[in-house]
Structure formats: structure tokens, C-alpha cells
Amino acid sequence: MSQGRATVLCVMAVADCAVLSPPIGAPTSAIAAVNVASMPQRSPLRYPGGKTWLIPHIRHWLAKPGPLLVEPFVGGGIVALTAVMENLVDRVLMVDIDRDVAAFWRAALTHGEELAAKVLEFPISRANVEKLEQRAPETVLDHGFRTLVLNRTRRGGVLAPGAALTRRGENGNGVASRCYPQTLADRLRAITSHADRITFCEGDGVAMLELIARIDGARFFVDPPYTGRGGKRAGSRLYAHNAVSHRRIFDALACAECDFLMTYDCSPEILGLVSDYGFEAVAVEMKNTHHDRIPELVINRDRLFANS
């Protein structure tokens, strides 16, 4: 794409992102975002920025099964869990830098049954959640349990420092309104039954990407936090870690010539990188929790999702 055309697209993106209606500087995806309620909910975490709406794209992308999917910014892990549980890949490698998120995945993968038992036993109340919040966890199991409870009881599932507990919640159920012990225990048990195919690693997803992007046959689902101009800028309050070099990510993927799928807020900065690296982007219109229509970019190397 020429520099001039990229500039025009970026200007269009600024204008169109502002009014939140397509076209937005990238063609619309041939696959629509789905209502998340119609998708299998596999993650016990209620993750801000979670990608359940993207599952039809993921299934299409991974239609030909492969050996390994790497998710360097795994968060709630809905993509990795779906890939393993629907046998779209043999194994997944999940990475996240957040120590609370890391503790959850370690506990879920190595102490899943005990974690499920703790969820079923916990007498949910505001006072008990506050007590749990203030106590430093002593074991990985305790830490993972604390992460899960705080994720399910804080507003919007936000784990970053300063996030408040839900007040009224759904139907006035307060902190209990997003805690479904039996459902969470079932999801944890489903993870346990696939744990031999899931590896979690706590660390920097960008460095990991640079290290392993050339592994033969590996595919990468990349969903980094985003705080840039023109985006939702929510990354800074949603995640404790939110500063990553987007150019380093694009560079690692371009140099390795690997198969990847990336998602980003629709912003001039990201459309500029897509153009610089010769990648393809489509827009998917998402409805957020306030029912605003937000365009998100789905980026990969080939024209996989564009309407012809």
C-alpha cells in the first residue's frame, strides 16, 4: 500500500472512529462479531477486553488443525481454551506478565480440583471478599483463588490496582451477581481435563514472541493491551501492565513470517503499522457493555476475512 493511501486511511479512521460507524479505514470483516452469550463460555475469568466475540474468526483461522498456538497476552485465555477444547490445535502456550493472572493460571492448571472445591465452599459476601482482598496469599492455590474471586466480584472484572468491588450488581445481588460457583467449578474441571495440553508461562509476551516466533508450525494469537491515541485508551485502567511496544510486536511477527492473528483498537497508529508492515486488517463492529458500537481491528498476514 502506498504511503499516501495509508495516510488517507488513517485520516478516515480518525474521523470514523470518532462517530463509531463504518467504514473505518479497513474493510469490514465477512464474519460478524457474535453475541457472546451464544458462544461456549470456557474461561472462569470474566476478562476485560475478552475475545469471546472473536471465536468465529478464530475457528475460521484455525480451520486446518496445527501443533501449537501461542497466546503471548493471554488474560482470560478464551482463545487458547477454545483452541484446545475444540481440538483446533494440539497444544497451547499461554503467557501473561501479570502476577495475579499468572497465579490464577498456575492454580487452575496444577490444582484445578482444589481450586474448584474452594470456589464451591467460599461463602460469598462483601465482608468475606474484602477480607480475602486484604490477606496476602501464601500459596499458589490461595493466590489463584484470590485472583478468581476478585475478578468475579470487582466492577467489570478489572484486576488492576484501584478497581472497586461491584456495588449493586445484577438484580441488586452485589458482589455475588457474577459469581456462579457451580459454573466456575465446571469450567475449572474442564480446564483440568485438558491441562496436559496447556502450558502457562509468566513473563513478557513481547520478548517471548521475539524468541519463539520462528518455531516451525506455531501460530500466534496476539491481543496486547492498547492505550494509544484514537483507541479506547482503556488499557491503562484495565490492566496493571499496559505499556508495550506495538512496533516491536509487529516487527517480531513480520521478521518471523509466522502465521498470526492480532486484534487491536481501531486507531491511526495501528492502521499505520498495518500499512508499514504490509499486513491485512479488517474491522469488526463490536457492541460493548454500554451497547456502543466499537470497531475493532482483526489483523493478519493474508486477506482471510475481507469481503471480496
Ligand X SMILES: C[S@@+](CC[C@H](N)C(=O)[O-])C[C@H]1O[C@@H](n2cnc3c(N)ncnc32)[C@H](O)[C@@H]1O
The C-alpha atoms of residue 169 and residue 125 are separated, in whole angstroms, by 13
Listed ranges 58-66, 129-137, 187-195, 218-226: which one lies at the site for ligand X (CB under 6 A): 218-226
By CB under 6 A, tell whether 241 contacts ligand X: yes
Which residues, at least 6 apart from 304, have a Cβ–Cβ distance to it below 8 Å?
60, 61, 280
Total chain residues near ligand X (CB under 6 A): 24
- Cell (9 digits) for 46: 470474566
By CB under 6 A, tell whether 50 contacts ligand X: yes
The C-alpha atoms of residue 201 and residue 74 are separated, in whole angstroms, by 10
3-state DSSP assignment of residue 306: strand
148, 181 in Cβ contact below 8 A? no
How far does Cα 61 stand from its chain's mean position?
16
Single out the residue of 25, 44, 49, 156 in contact with ligand X (rule: CB under 6 A).
49
3-state DSSP assignment of residue 4: helix
Listed ranges 31-39, 108-116, 150-158, 223-231: which one lies at the site for ligand X (CB under 6 A): 223-231
By CB under 6 A, tell whether 157 contacts ligand X: no
Question: What's the Rg (C-alpha) of the chain?
Answer: 19
> From the CB of 243, what's the least distance to ligand X, in Å?
7
Query: In terms of CB distance, is 96 or 251 closer to ligand X?
Result: 96
Helices (H) and strands (E) in the chain, counts: 12, 7
By CB under 6 A, tell whether 225 contacts ligand X: yes
Query: In terms of CB distance, is 223 or 269 closer to ligand X?
Result: 223
Site string for ligand X, 161-200 (x = CB under 6 A): ----------------------------------------
By CB under 6 A, tell whether 61 contacts ligand X: no
Which 88-127 residues touch ligand X, going by CB under 6 A?
95-98, 101
Phi, psi of 46 (to 5 degrees): -100, 90
Binding site for ligand X (CB under 6 A): 47, 49-51, 72-73, 75-76, 78, 95-98, 101, 204-206, 223-225, 239, 241-242, 244
